[in-house]
Amino acid sequence: MEINEFKELTEAVFAAHKLKCELTEQMFDIFYKMTERLLSENEKYNLTAIRTVGGVIENHIFDSVLPAGGIPEGARVLDVGSGGGFPALPLATVRPDLKITALDATEKKVEYIRATAELLGLSNVTAVCGRAEELSSDGSEMREKFDVVIARSVASLATLSELCVPFLGVGGKFIAMKSEKAIHEAKEAENALYLLGCVQKCEIIKPYAVDPETDKLFMVTVKRTKTPIKYPRKYAQIKKKPL
Ligand code: SAH
């Protein structure tokens, strides 16, 4: 696909969802290269189930840009379970002010994110390989070091909270990207969030987007107190006995 056609398609997707986000020529160029690279590398190893340019724009780029409006200026952001770099890479594209760390347990995916960020000139992205529950445990360098922790398609909210919240500094924001299941999962995760030290439990926000029919929901929690050092637990325990 030529870049002009790509641009038109992207504009159409953003307009269809009434997304209030101005994209510059440079951003289109980065998204174009990101899409080409994702689809070609995906033939070598599994990064996404999506196989078309339109699908990448809709499900990866558009979706990843949605929470941008809910992230404070200059924030240190951690993307837990970033996979092929979503939402980390598109977020870094539209918000060059953010310092984004993409974390994933799979070395190949982390290498892909690192190389892609370099190729696209996204100097505000770093990629780290490891398991969230190990890197956020008591005494770890990354614990309580982020202003915003974000995650898409990694685990149910209760499990995800234990993996993500300990990375947040006091007053930080946890953005779990969820669909309609958000409301049900939020109820289920209330106790987990309480135990993890989140004061304001769940709030559903729709940053940027204005169309209630099509827009995705996001869960936001604000951490105001300290997370007890016993969390997170080992992954086997998290899975077996969610908070
Ligand atoms: N966020 C991406 C990828 C979702 S797939 C997207 O929305 O497209 C889930 C990813 O989370 C996988 O790449 C997997 O390796 C990673 N993952 C799952 N559990 C993890 C954990 N405990 N720590 C770090 N990464 C994890």
Question: Residue 200: pLDDT above 70?
Answer: no
Question: Residue 21: pLDDT above 80?
Answer: no
Round the average pLDDT of the chain to a whole number and report it: 88
What letter does residue 68 receive in the DSSP assignment?
G
**Which pair of tokens denotes residue 146?**
């982020």
Q: What is the pTM of this model?
A: 0.91
Give yes or no for residue 105 CB within 6 A of ligand 1.
yes
- Residue 70 contacts residue 205 (beta carbons within 8 Å): yes
- Residue 113 contacts residue 85 (beta carbons within 8 Å): yes
The percent of residues above 70 in pLDDT, for the chain, comes to 88
In this predicted model, what pLDDT tens digit does every residue of 131-146 receive, in sequence order? 999 999 999 999 999 9
pLDDT of residue 111: 97
Average pLDDT in the 197-205 region?
63
Question: Residue 32: pLDDT above 80?
Answer: yes
Question: Residue 69: pLDDT above 90?
Answer: no
Question: Residue 210: pLDDT above 50?
Answer: no
CB burial class (10 A; 0-12, 13-18, 19+) of residue 108? middle
- The CA angle 157-159-164, to the nearest 5 degrees, is 85
Average pLDDT in the 31-42 region?
97
Give the distance (Å) from ligand 1 centre to CA of residue 224: 26
What number does the ligand 1 atom closest to the CA of 85 have? 2
Q: CB neighbours of 139 closer than 8 A, spacing ≥ 6?
A: none
Average pLDDT in the 149-163 region?
92
Give the distance (Å) from ligand 1 centre to CA of residue 135: 14
Residue corresponding to tokens 């969390």: 231
Question: Residue 216: pLDDT above 80?
Answer: no
Give yes or no for residue 237 CB within 6 A of ligand 1.
no
Confidence of residue 194 (pLDDT cuts 50, 70, 90): confident
Confidence of residue 67 (pLDDT cuts 50, 70, 90): confident
Give the distance (Å) from ligand 1 centre to CA of residue 155: 8
Give the distance (Å) from ligand 1 centre to CA of residue 131: 9
Question: Residue 214: pLDDT above 60?
Answer: no
Q: What is d(CA 169, CA 144) in angstroms, rounded to the nearest whole number? A: 4
Residue corresponding to tokens 């641009």: 7
In this predicted model, what pLDDT tens digit does every residue of 107-120 receive, in sequence order? 999 999 999 999 99
- Helix, strand, coil shares of the chain as percentages rounded to 5? 40, 20, 35
pLDDT of residue 203: 59
Give yes or no for residue 42 CB within 6 A of ligand 1.
no
pLDDT of residue 206: 53
What number does the ligand 1 atom closest to the CA of 64 have? 7
Query: In sequence order, what DSSP letters do the residues of 1-63 get, joined into one string?
Result: --HHHHHHHHHHHHHHTT---PPPHHHHHHHHHHHHHHHHHTTTS-S-S--SHHHIIIIIIIH
Question: Residue 207: pLDDT above 80?
Answer: no
Give the distance (Å) from ligand 1 centre to CA of residue 2: 31
pLDDT of residue 223: 66
**Which pair of tokens denotes residue 216?**
């995705």
Give yes or no for residue 153 CB within 6 A of ligand 1.
yes
pLDDT of residue 16: 78
Which of 78, 104, 156 is the best mutation target for the ligand 1 pocket, counting ligand atoms within 8 Å of the beta carbon and taking the most? Answer: 104
Give yes or no for residue 109 CB within 6 A of ligand 1.
yes
Confidence of residue 127 (pLDDT cuts 50, 70, 90): very high
**Which pair of tokens denotes residue 12?**
């159409």
Give the distance (Å) from ligand 1 centre to CA of residue 108: 12
What number does the ligand 1 atom closest to the CA of 151 have? 1
